[in-house]
Amino acid sequence: MTLTVGDVAPEFSLPDQDKQVVSLSGLRGAPVLVVFYPFAFSGICTGELCQLRDELVTYTDAGVQVVAISTDPTFSLKAFRAEQGFGFPLLSDFWPHGTTAQAYGVFNERAGMPLRGTFLVDAAGTLVFAEVNQPGDARAQSGWKDAVAQLSAAA
């Protein structure tokens, strides 16, 4: 299943790095940037999430909440977040393995990991930006920023 702009974003309820459950419906009322990444501590993923960390004010100033999702267990996510100082939750799609990534159409069955999927969900729960990059294909974050700027200008 491939999601496109205009689709309703699939609901999820996943534990964060501190085992606190975060749901998309619980974030409703504000836009949410949902960033799927393959693995904590891997080179490209660390670089992408560190850039997101360093530019987080771009999103928070626009009222956008950021969540990052992988199939790593919560223990790994807690260590990864502490090491890198991420100011956004890291959510675990560990079990049932990859269910949320599957719902968003970004689960790589053979590797057991999500692809690099990025989705901007508006305050009502509709996708206003969707992009999927293959393993090893780092994302250009300019597309996300442009979508956030457009959403912010329309508000």
Which residues carry out catalysis?
45
Measured at the alpha carbon of residue 37, what is the angle toward residues 36 and 39, in degrees to the nearest 5? 145
Q: How far apart are CA 72 and CA 1, in angstroms?
A: 22
Residue type, 92: S
Q: How far apart are CA 82 and CA 96, in angstroms?
A: 25
Buried residues in 95-126 as b, exposed as e (16+ CB within 10 A): eeebebbbbbbbbeeeeebbbbbbbbbbeebe
Alpha helices in 1-155 (DSSP H): 24-27, 43-54, 56-60, 74-84, 99-103, 142-154
Helices 43-54 and 74-84: angle between axes, nearest 10 degrees: 60
